[in-house]
Structure 1
Amino acid sequence: MTREADPVELGVQLLARLEHTELPLSDVVDRIETISTHPETTRAILEEAEKRGHITREGDTVRPTGGQFLSFESDVVERDGDFECRRCGASLSTGYFMKLEAGEHGPFGSSCIRKVTGRE
């Protein structure tokens, strides 16, 4: 049996790997909602990421500070199968999964994985 990843840890690790100089808070919440839509979990992820120094927040602006971006060659796994995108809900025959220390996060479609990681 596979242990479910802790959503707060997964969210903190996701925010630590964002590829932006700054983002509106609403865009950051969009990414967190691929993990959890619970307001308490979202708040806990933001607070823990800030506490660990992965992001800074000023009003509605979030600035990632880590610079440890996901590598599509080694940190994103592509799998064929019958999936539903965690971001947009689309049916997928190929899913993209992020490999984070807390666990895998996905599946995402080809455009959503770029959006979530900040490549788009």
Structure 2
Amino acid sequence: MSDETVELGVQLLERLEHEELSLAEVVDRLETITSDPTTTRTILDTAEKRGIVDREDGIIRPTGGRFLRFQSEVVEKKGDFTCRRCGASISTGYFMRLQAGEHGPFGSSCIRKVTGRES
């Protein structure tokens, strides 16, 4: 587990547009970064310690309210990509620009799902 992976996961949680998510929904988003359960747990623990999320009874509530701006923090690139969430082949990839680094690519519906623009 790298510090960069943990930081990317924490920053992803910080930018979610949901009022609350189930633990399973949060893990679905974090699996775009890591499939390692220990790293996922470390990301959640770190986010909670920093006050980025509140956890209670399997419900995660982001506290930040710092949503991604689609024009400047989500960039679109043309090319041959595989969506990090669903595995589909895509010709337009959407990448999140977080302080810890760029995260993606995602297809158009998966980027909305991961960020919380669509349930």
Under a length normalisation based on structure 1, what TM-score does the superposition of the two structures give? 0.95
The share of aligned pairs that are identical, in percent, is 71
In structure 1, the residue matched to 2:9 is 11
Tell me the number of residue pairs that the alignment of Structure 1 and Structure 2 aligns. 117
The list of structure 1 runs, each at least 4 consecutive aligned residues, that deviate by more than 4 angstroms after superposition, is none
- Looking at structure 2, the residues matched to 112 and 12 of structure 1 have their Cα atoms a distance apart, in angstroms, of 19
In structure 2, the residue matched to 1:25 is 23
Under a length normalisation based on structure 2, what TM-score does the superposition of the two structures give? 0.96
How big is the shift at 1:36?
0.1
The Cα RMSD (Å) is 1.2
Unaligned runs of 5+ in 1: none
Unaligned runs of 5+ in 2: none
- Looking at structure 1, the residues matched to 68 and 13 of structure 2 have their Cα atoms a distance apart, in angstroms, of 11
Contact 1:75/1:99, CA 8 A, preserved across alignment? yes
- Looking at structure 1, the residues matched to 19 and 83 of structure 2 have their Cα atoms a distance apart, in angstroms, of 26
Superposition pairs for residues 38-117 of structure 1, below 5 Å?
A: 38-117=36-115
* Residues 43-86 of structure 1 deviation map (CA, whole Å, 9 limit, x = unaligned): 00000000110000001100000000000011000000000000
